[in-house]
A and B are shown apart, each in its own frame.
Chain A
């Protein structure tokens, strides 16, 4: 299901000019964002970028200094958490340790004019939904981390909230469990159709789970887009660097859509940048194609400096006149390595397709 920004629909959650200041530190600066019903949105960014602060502002846990939050057409900017409509799952799970799993899940259902049998039925239903039907009588400490996280999820959706907030829910789990839970959480979200916002610093998590990703850095939004958009067309060099692996090569515009990299001239799509400007050219390692002869545009010769075996492919460091001191990373398929008997020190020809090259103005500082 593609729920990307169709301007026809009214957004379910609208954030407008939101700013959060802690003392002298501006954690969020003028954030505006729209999230549509049924969408799965990830806030992605390095630690300290403000993603959790934004989530907590949406929940009303740390209310913003300025700006507006609207949910389902209603202004909730100043409301306390208890008067908003959301379920939340934290990285720590925050399960009540002294209550059984069933009691934890039932917690939000109490005092809602539901009978005991109705509550029990709903709890059973929820435990089945998260795949833990037999664990109701256990205490949280008796469950594994992944199981605890699913219980926390069941508790959060028990009251059928309109919005599900996930604060780094998978970060405390080990890699295998995390990969499995990614699918389960996403499946569940799709099944329920619940609008979901997840905070994460793990780009893989965001790419696999989200309908749209909000990439954040230092309190501002760098880019909002589908996983493919932010990966293929990162609008800033920060996004390009943060998501996936990226080669950055310094260059200079020498004409319309023409860039000089060292001794090499390449063509690319950068008509917005003036001639003579310093630029940074970004190329993904998988977009560097090794071939047999020089015959085409954007093709030049290089030498294999080192090769790193990564299972299904090899990541090669290539030295060339275009890239200067910094080697260019290229992902080379095992088949190519075998058929060409590629080894360290070999001379190769590489090509970078024009449409795969991104150009950012200015020279990039190394962090």
Chain B
């Protein structure tokens, strides 16, 4: 071809040829995206359409919604839910901020211990604080008098239980927000002779405002979607989450359950969107040149902070101690002698000891399957080449589970998987569907953990590997996985613990052979066997705590083994 002939050809857009690696990576991404579609998007869609159908399946538009809003007994739950969630948010964020402030800005001793104690509620089902409150303030409660005649069954009990349940989540976020403070800002403020109060309002609060907003929305979402606490301690006080349960389990009114689910989905999605927006801002505040703020000792301030930390710790540990005490007592309050009678779960309804072993199996499968799926998916989406639209869709699918309350997910599964025409119908009631739903339910946080770890890897590893003609999976296996192992362990432990404690999604999905410990707590409490429920709840706690401790030592071991190559 002559030079002139070559130049005559107009420059055409280049269509990059895909390598074998590109195909394999996209295939993996496609399979995991398909999983998210089948296990999340399609069930949700089925549920949405169910809410605009009559019992016979015919389309009736918004009739169900009109019926819902026309029935005050039902729609009043919206007010109740908002009331509970708002009150919980106010109390939890205040307590969490004070707690985090004590941890990050004072010189109290045993900070590590207090931080560990603050994480206790993560290790128990949200039913457990309710049970503890029954023993403390119920009709025959130990310190019932403190309520001055008010009943614990209702908003008071729900809010206390929700504060217990949501506190660790808020503390984690606010501690992070307060730890990124730049000492130079404080030095500048002091140099300008600002008063302590002024510094607090002009430096401290603005510096962690995104953390506070984010914590508020996370707490709000947890509280409005939680089902465990209102179920145990709510009495006649109906909230949206218990309404879904009652409509479905109690009245078999699936269509109305779907309507309530959609109503509950709205605030959850809204709070989720705000939280995502705010979290992005928080990251931008962190500058590389910031100087870490070292708190200075101040006796009076430190002592008051210490008393606060002790008070919160007593509250958190106390709730568990009450449950453990109740579990070991023959028959509260009439026979206070010691007994293991309440551990004979096989004698009660709820699933017996088998449910406990089921839970351990389910949590183990969830941890293994979930970690593999989540980490692989995150890797493909982070390190793949091109295919930007596909990756955006995947990211969206991966973020969606966070906005979907567990009960809504569970109900959506009934509609989708229990449908006789669905070829996946055989999954219903099996261990498999419990694992599938739990992985989806907790997908987002696990995904974000994986993405954060992957973003810290040198982005050129894949480029180097391709230039050396090595397949990506070799680099994935030999480099990415070993380097990300701490994050992978974090993901698996997160999934395990949540699978042990979750009630909401699985309560609609377990079968006669696949009852779970957390569901057994619910059912035994429902049947009036409160002490065995407490005993089972504590079994969950010990298991989750034990696994957490194992995880701690495994991480330590790993750190020591790999410190030769960890960057200095």
Contacts and interface: CB of A to CB of B under 8 A. Distances in A.
Contacts of B568: 141
Contacts of A64: 14
Contact of A110 (B20, B464, B470): B470
A82 B482 contact: no
A340 B463 CA distance: 60
A141 B15 contact: no
Interface string B534-568: 00000000000000000000000000001011111
A337 B470 CA distance: 62
B567 A79 contact: no
Nearest to A56: B463
Contacts of A112: 469
A363 interface: no
Interface stretch (A95-103, A204-212, A238-246): A95-103
A263 to B, nearest CB: 50
Interface stretch (A84-92, A117-125, A280-288, A289-297): A84-92
Interface in A122-176: 139-142, 155-156, 158-159, 161
B19 A65 contact: no
Given A66-B11, A78-B14, A59 B463 contact: yes
A80 interface: yes
A332 to B, nearest CB: 40
Interface in B504-541: none
Contact of A98 (B14, B16, B482): B482
B17 A78 contact: yes
A66 B467 CA distance: 22
B300 interface: no
B127 to A, nearest CB: 43
Interface in B451-491: 458, 460-461, 463-470, 474-475, 478-479, 482-483
B311 interface: no
B116 interface: no
A82 B466 contact: yes
B12 A66 contact: yes
Nearest to B16: A63
A66 to B, nearest CB: 4
B14 A59 contact: no
A77 B9 CA distance: 15
A140 B565 CA distance: 7
Given A80-B21, A98-B482, A159 B460 contact: no
Contacts of B475: 96
Given A63-B14, A98-B482, A139 B469 contact: no
Contacts of B22: 80
B4 interface: no
B458 A107 contact: no
B567 A111 contact: no
A274 B422 CA distance: 84
A64 B16 CA distance: 9
A98 B479 contact: yes
A65 B13 contact: yes
B479 A81 contact: no
B14 A65 contact: yes
The SS class assigned to the A binding surface is loop
A97 B463 contact: no
A66 B470 contact: no
A94 interface: yes
B565 A141 contact: yes
B16 A139 contact: no
Interface residues of B, number: 37
B460 A90 contact: yes
A78 B479 contact: no
B73 interface: no
Question: Among the interface residues B16, B21, B22, which one has the most CB atoms of the partner chain A within 10 A?
Answer: B16
A66 B565 CA distance: 42
B426 to A, nearest CB: 41
Given A66-B14, A80-B16, A111-B470, A96 B479 contact: yes
Contact of B464 (A77, A78, A88, A97): A88
Contact of B466 (A80, A97, A99, A141): A80
A241 B466 CA distance: 38
A64 B566 CA distance: 36
Contacts, number: 110
B18 interface: yes
B385 interface: yes
B21 A99 contact: no
A141 B16 contact: no
Interface in B1-35: 6, 11-22
Contacts of B478: 96, 98-99
Contacts of A361: none
A188 B465 CA distance: 23
A67 B11 contact: yes
A53 interface: no
Contacts of B20: 82
Contacts of B564: 139, 141-142
Nearest to A61: B463
Contacts of B469: 82, 108, 112, 159
Contact of B470 (A17, A94, A107, A141): A107
A292 B140 CA distance: 112
Nearest to A97: B565
Nearest to B385: A80
A83 interface: yes
Nearest to A158: B468
A139 B566 CA distance: 9
Question: Among the interface residues B19, B464, B465, B565, which one has the most CB atoms of the partner chain A within 10 A?
Answer: B464
B560 to A, nearest CB: 14
Contacts of B21: 80, 82
Contacts of B17: 78-80, 83
B197 to A, nearest CB: 45
Nearest to B472: A82
A19 B467 contact: no
Contacts of A140: 565
B458 A92 contact: yes
Contacts of A59: 463, 467
Contacts of B14: 63-67, 77-78
Nearest to B482: A98
B11 A107 contact: no
B464 A98 contact: no
Contact of B458 (A63, A65, A82, A94): A94
B467 A87 contact: yes
A16 B144 CA distance: 85
A36 to B, nearest CB: 17
A222 B183 CA distance: 47
A86 B458 contact: no
Interface of B: 6, 11-22, 385, 458, 460-461, 463-470, 474-475, 478-479, 482-483, 562, 564-568
25 contacts: A59-B463, A63-B16, A66-B11, A78-B16, A79-B17, A80-B16, A80-B19, A80-B21, A82-B466, A82-B467, A86-B467, A88-B464, A90-B464, A94-B458, A94-B461, A96-B461, A96-B479, A98-B479, A99-B479, A99-B565, A111-B474, A112-B469, A139-B564, A155-B468, A156-B464
Given A64-B14, A80-B19, A90-B464, 12 more contacts: A65-B14, A66-B14, A78-B14, A81-B466, A82-B20, A82-B21, A97-B483, A97-B566, A99-B479, A108-B468, A139-B565, A142-B564
10 nearest A-B pairs in the assembled complex, by CB-CB distance: A108-B468, A80-B19, A139-B565, A94-B460, A81-B466, A82-B466, A63-B16, A66-B11, A78-B17, A98-B482
